[in-house]
Amino acid sequence: MSEKAVNKNLPIVSKRLGLPDAYKLETYLATGGYDGLKKALQMNPEDVSNEVMKASLLGRGGAGFPAGRKWSMLKANPVKYLVINGDESEPATFKDHDLIELDPHQIIEGVVIASYALGVNQAFIFCRGEFALGLERLQSALNEAYDYGAVGSDIFGSGFSVDLVVHPGAGAYICGEETALLQSLEGKRGYPRIKPPYFPAVMGLYNQPTVVNNIETVSNLPWIIQNGGDAFAAMGQDSSAGSRIFALSGHVKKPGNYEVEMGKVTFRDIIFDPEYGGGILDDLELKAFIPGGVSAPWFGPELLDLPLTQEAIASKGSMLGSGSIVVFNESTCPVRAAWRISKFFYRESCGQCTPCREGSGWIEKIMHRIETGSGRMEDIELVLDVCDNIAPGLTWPPKQTTICVLGPSIPSSIVSAVNMFKQDFVDHIEKGKCTFGK
């Protein structure tokens, strides 16, 4: 490993994930649980917000918006809400899944700290419906937290009260989009709302000002309050402060969630280091990798030495996104990989906007016929043309023609596959079959 990322502070959010019974209050308290909240309640709410602002904590959901700034935008109002986004559905992302099942108290503590800072008395944790065990663990942790006095009225005798509801999703990728999530929480179809208003901080749940934060984002708060925002900001690089969980999957020997200090580790480290991915499955060559969820453009092996920061990845035309890295070894058919990703978007498009609804279907169809050997040579141009209709110019970041960013995310993988592996497309079409034998 080039520069060993040994930081005595790490791990921060994932420190309890290996402990047995970490989801129980007893274990949580034995490992410093709820100390951050107790400390926060001794402070002024504004000072709590300031620490988070100083920490330069970027949202961990995918967009990477600074959490402190998001909080400062919350409009003053008699009724305000905090909603935690735990609808983790971006393919190959599984960090929140672990945090929910294995350390639910850390989430609850973070939510109460955030509620205190924001002056919110009603918060919701939106948990992906498929996480049945996660829903059970979150709710029993919440019951324990109420009994312990960490949630509910007059928390630890501070006079501050907040109620928390664990809300189940019901299976829809689009509900990870914050306005769709709010619609779903209101008991409706998960249709993203038309913008403006751009931010739920102005008009959110039940049309009241609402902050929406990701599970991992709030899981960082207990540590930030305990150790100070400066200590958090001292870690990392450029605007990517602190540490972050990267979900590594696909063709690596050891897929899993790895928390690393931002900017101190490269893709090469995380994929090959025995401490993390441990190298490519079956010791084959690396073909390509997706740096930040399936909405992100792909990278080739020549970019392995990029550090894991928002800026470094953006400078090469992709994104850190949800922090999930998918590794393709040389046996991977890039046409099939891109087709499968387009099929996902086709299935998950909510159907409100024409470019996304129609475009995703056509892209899936064209990609499928190329992959299965029925493609025509003009299909390569055609599929790019459909992509161009969804995100004109095929630039990065993509131009938007739709209400939300799902649509403009569709072209990334297709454009990457065509640009990086055009010969494979040509071979599929000429030979009339998948040249990788799939």
Partner 1 sequence: MGHLSEEVLNKARILLEVYPNKRSALIPLCHLAQGQDGYLTPEAIIEIAELVDVTPAEVRGTASFYDMFHLEPVGKHVVAMCTNIACMLRGADELLEHAQEVLDVGIGGTTQDGQFTLEEAECLAGCNNAPCVQVNHRFFGPLDNDGFDELISDLKSGKLKDIVPEHGVLNRVERQHGLKATPDQIQAERDVMESAKKERLAKKSTS
Interface with partner 1 in residues 349-378 (CB under 8 A) = 350
251 lines the binding site for partner 1 (CB under 8 A): yes
Q: By CB under 8 A, tell whether 165 contacts partner 1.
A: yes
Cis peptide before 196 (omega within 30 of 0): yes
Stretch that binds partner 1, among 23-31, 303-311, 325-333, 365-373 (CB under 8 A): 325-333
172 lines the binding site for partner 1 (CB under 8 A): yes
Is there binding between residue 148 and partner 1 (CB under 8 A)?
no
Q: Which of residues 90-129 bind partner 1 (CB under 8 A)?
A: 90-94, 96-97, 122, 128-129
Degrees (nearest 5) of the Cα angle 153, 156, 159? 50
Alpha-carbon distance of 53 to 48, in angstroms, equals: 9
41 by Cβ neighbours in 10 Å (0-12 / 13-18 / 19+) ranks as: buried
Closer to partner 1 at the Cβ: 132 or 194? 132
Binding residue (CB under 8 A) for partner 1 from 30, 132, 194, 377: 132
190 lies in the binding site for partner 1 (CB under 8 A) = yes
The reply on whether position 206 binds partner 1 by CB under 8 A is: yes
Residue 189 or 422: the one with the smaller Cβ distance to partner 1 is 189
Dist. CA 33–CA 217, nearest whole Å: 17
Distance in angstroms (rounded) separating the CA atoms of residues 263 and 230: 17
Residue 421 interacting with partner 1 (CB under 8 A): no
Shortest distance, position 368 Cβ to partner 1, whole Å: 13
Q: Which stretch binds partner 1 (CB under 8 A): 45-53, 64-72, 298-306, 327-335?
A: 327-335
Binding mask 294-313 for partner 1 (x = CB under 8 A): x-------------------
CB 304 within 8 A of CB 265: no
**Alpha-carbon span 81 to 205, nearest angstrom:** 7
Question: Measured between alpha carbons, how far is 132 from 157 in angstroms, rounded to an integer?
Answer: 34
Q: What is the nearest approach in angstroms of partner 1 to the Cβ of residue 191?
A: 8
CB count in 10 Å sphere of residue 15: 17
Q: Which DSSP string corresponds to 130-182? A: T-HHHHHHHHHHHHHHHHHTSSBSSGGGSS--BEEEEEE--S-GGGGSHHHHH
Is 256 a residue that touches partner 1 (CB under 8 A)?
Answer: yes
Answer for which of 34, 173, 199, 299 binds partner 1 (CB under 8 A) is: 173
Q: Using the rule CB under 8 A, is 247 a contact of partner 1?
A: yes
